[in-house]
Structure 1
Amino acid sequence: MKILKILSKLKMRGADDYKNHLYALILAGGGGTRLWPRSRQKTPKQFLKLFDNETLTQVAIRRFTEILPWENIFIVTVSSDYKKEILKEVPQMRPENIIVEPVRRETGPAHALGALYIESRDPDAVIMTESADRIVKPVSRYLETLLKAAKVAYQDHVLIAVWDISKKERRSALKEVSIFTSWTGLLKSLPLNLQKDIRNRGNTFGMQDNMFGLRETF
């Protein structure tokens, strides 16, 4: 009976219902070491104005406001000082949507903390995660790809990885957006050198062979 209830719930999900459960989770907890001496502990890279007189955090947040309301945008950071800086840079952000890690634990635990926080508010949440220091062009194509991935994730209850291949010699290996029934199926469709590169990066996030994959070029 319990299984039937679960299946019934899955079938009730409409094609566009995911839009009512869509969230962004931005990681903004860098320690200011990678762009030293430009970045320091008090001004890590996510708070630097590198492009168009905006900080990387401002750019990341603005990107998601094109498809989400402010209340559905969340940030994970590592200190109360960083939280204050985010609110100073983007006063439209809701203070309760800025999550401060109790202890710095790098990327994986930061993802988990943010996801658990959002899931406590919306058990059906579909969460798009990215780092504050990501540079994306063109933004419209990137957001379009995220929405396609979110729709599949919501309907089929799967985790989807979206990545870009920017090196010119690899672009010929990729076509338009393609959704594969398995992570293994995606890899087998690519050249061996690209398979190795993606698998190495995928293992960082604990990707499994039965995961869905979404490939795209930007």
Structure 2
Amino acid sequence: MIPVILSGGSGSRLWPLSRKQFPKQFLALTGDHTLLQQTLERLTFEGMQAPVVVCNKDHRFIVQEQLEALKLATQAILLEPFGRNTAPAVAIAAMQLLNEGRDELLLVLPADHVLDDQKAFQRALALATIAAEAGEMVLFGVPASKPETGYGYIKANADAGLPDGVNRVAQFVEKPDEQRAAQFVASGDYFWNSGMFLFRASRFLDELKKHDPDIYDTCLLALERSAREGDNIDIDEATFACCPDNSIDYAVMEKTSRACVVPLDAGWSDVGCWSSLWDVHEKDADGNVTKGDVVVQDSHNCLVHGNGKLVSVIGLENIVVVETKDAMMIAHKDRVQEVKQLVNTLNKQGRSETQNHCEVYRPWGSYDSVDMGGRFQVKRISVKPGAQLSLQMHHHRAEHWIVVSGTAQVTCDDKTFLLTENQSTYIPIASVHRLANPGRIPLELIEVQSGSYLGEDDIERLEDVYGRTAEVRNVSHAR
């Protein structure tokens, strides 16, 4: 059995903590490890092979770093140039494995879900394996315990041709209103759609070819034109752009006669919004969930998430307060599903706060915006031991570097030299330069930029050990 981990979501309903360039699956929201890492750790038991991870190309270094932190290997990392939903992602993963002669069972899991009961998960998986080995396409259904309007529902009927405990899918239902959701819960015949699947690779592709041949044909061609380097498979952008955007549910599961449901009663949550995050956390005597430097007074059933500043609340009921360095979001807990619409509005306004945090992660380390004015910007830069930035130049800004700790190896035009703590240097406009850390501890420095334009897209890469010189220049690829 090979897990296929889908890590391409943007998690916009958990803004402002989740951002496009650092979405929720890479955040430690429910423990010491990130949601992606928790998903991977859940699969380290006998019979489970190394995973295939599908992610956005912009996130590849984050994925690699989080895998390395757990010392986990992969079958492959499929790099999507942009999202085309779950059906194309799983199709390319299945095609790649079949190309290698490996027609295995595929356990398809989103990277950003929570499961509290590992033993219950393994029991459900064992039952699902029996059905999948017989050619069925299994969807894990979570028993609907309350009238949740943020989930899709599945109606299931008994089928004598299936193993005991496995039911046939009778109907898929889109997110209902509260009254209809209450009816579903009362009937006992409905499950929440978890978005988790188990089927054989060839079975999925046969059904996809039958029910959505456009996706099948486009993915086959996109994989043929893709480039592989190590574990990374860089999906061909021009071909993938022609692929229909469709989910596994719509493309296959709602059309096939082989769809069945295995109950999954394992403390599942998709952590899809702030109220579901409140659900999975321990609460104080007043029902509040707090994180960070937070003081709560005469408030009940609130979620208050601080990220640096002191956050204090008085007299609130069922309110979510989320503070980050550059944004704050306050909403009633019953309205948090609307955060996605708020993010769409901010995107239309061109607000950068939906894209990146002030601290931006790169394969070589990170940088944090400290201050900004009309013609200057101050950043704190951290470079990992042995790492280096690209050899680059800027057309509109000069830079001053001051080493706070560690050792910096600086290239500026035809000179290369070392700087240590409290030493500094100046990088003129249009100078070809590079910053590297030759030491064994992180390099921390302050960068002061000055010039007529300070955008992160004012960069021309000449060399890059991370293979980014060929990428289109834009904000998300800078440095």
What TM-score does the superposition give when structure 2 sets the normalisation length? 0.34
Q: Which secondary structure does the structure 1 equivalent of 2:52 belong to?
A: strand
Q: Structure 1 residues 62, 196: CA separation in 2 closer, same or farther (over 3 Å shift)?
A: closer
Counterpart Cα distance in 2 of 1:116 and 1:74:
12
Partner in structure 1 of residue 165 of structure 2: 178
CA contact (8 A) 2:53 2:74 kept: no
- Specify which of 5, 12, 16 is matched with residue 33 of structure 1: 12
* 2:93 aligned with 1:114: yes
Q: How does 1:1-218 map to 2 (within 5 A)?
A: 22-68=1-47, 72-79=50-57, 81-91=58-68, 92-94=71-73, 97-154=76-133, 156-167=134-145, 178-180=165-167, 182-184=168-170, 195=189, 204=250, 206-207=253-254, 208-218=256-266
Q: Structure 1 residues 117, 35: CA separation in 2 closer, same or farther (over 3 Å shift)?
A: same
Equivalent AA in structure 2 for residue 74 of structure 1? V
Instruction: State the Cα RMSD in Å.
Output: 3.3
Greater share of strand? 2
Cα deviations across residues 26-70 of structure 1 (Å, max 9, x unaligned)?
10112242211011122100001112211000000010112455x
* Structure with greater Cα Rg: 2
Displacement of 1:76: 0.4
Greater share of helix? 1
Q: Structure 1 residues 197, 52: CA separation in 2 closer, same or farther (over 3 Å shift)?
A: closer
Equivalent AA in structure 1 for residue 92 of structure 2? L
Equivalent AA in structure 1 for residue 61 of structure 2? K
CA contact (8 A) 2:141 2:261 kept: no
CA contact (8 A) 1:23 1:74 kept: yes
Q: Unpaired segments of 5 or more residues in structure 1?
A: 1-21
CA contact (8 A) 1:25 1:114 kept: yes
Partner in structure 1 of residue 236 of structure 2: none
Q: Unpaired segments of 5 or more residues in structure 2?
A: 149-155, 157-163, 172-183, 196-247, 267-479
CA contact (8 A) 1:152 1:158 kept: yes
Displacement of 1:85: 0.8
Q: Structure 1 residues 143, 131: CA separation in 2 closer, same or farther (over 3 Å shift)?
A: same
Counterpart Cα distance in 1 of 2:75 and 2:257:
36
Displacement of 1:111: 2.1
Q: Which secondary structure does the structure 2 equivalent of 1:90 belong to?
A: helix
What TM-score does the superposition give when structure 1 sets the normalisation length? 0.70
Displacement of 1:101: 1.6
Q: Which secondary structure does the structure 2 equivalent of 1:54 belong to?
A: coil
Equivalent AA in structure 2 for residue 183 of structure 1? V
Equivalent AA in structure 2 for residue 118 of structure 1? L
Calculate percent identity across the aligned residue pairs: 22
Identify which of structures 1 and 2 has the higher relative contact order when contacts are C-alpha pairs closer than 8 Å and 6+ apart.
Answer: 1
Cα deviations across residues 65-110 of structure 1 (Å, max 9, x unaligned)?
12455x531110011x412111111213436521112432122222
Displacement of 1:120: 2.5
CA contact (8 A) 1:87 1:95 kept: no
Q: How many residues matched?
A: 184
